[in-house]
Amino acid sequence: MNNKERGIKQQLEGTVLSNKMDKTVTVQVERLVMHPVYKKYIRRRAKYAAHDEQNACGKGDRVLITESRPLSRRKRWRVSRIIEKAV
């Protein structure tokens, strides 16, 4: 099986909530979903544990995470890049 057959890995943008673990950060991803009846946009949030190899992420940073193979029981994402550092 070559790379063309595998497909494209999903990428999400979110905010780092916690970096207290070693080489792991918790990222909150927010998305807008339209309500099926009322047609109003609702904010939906999800938290992901992402692998941060260099421990470079800080709390409040905007990061791009990429889907990966399972790295531990809860980690299925990697930090691909830091978009914006927190002040």
Residue 86 phi, psi dihedral angles, 5° rounding? -75, 155
Q: The CATH number of the domain where 24 resides is what?
A: 2.40.50.140
Strand intervals (E) in 1-87: 11-21, 24-34, 41-51, 62-67, 77-84
Per-residue pLDDT of 15-58, as tens digits, reads 999 999 999 999 999 999 999 999 999 999 999 999 999 999 99
* Alpha carbons 11 and 41: distance in angstroms, whole number: 22
Structure tokens at 41: 């946009």
* Alpha carbons 77 and 68: distance in angstroms, whole number: 5
Q: What is the pLDDT of residue 6?
A: 78
How many domains does the structure of the chain reveal? 1
Q: What is the pLDDT of residue 87?
A: 85
Residue 32 is part of which domain span?
3-84
Q: What is the pLDDT of residue 5?
A: 72
HSE of 6, CA atoms in CB hemisphere, 13 A: 9
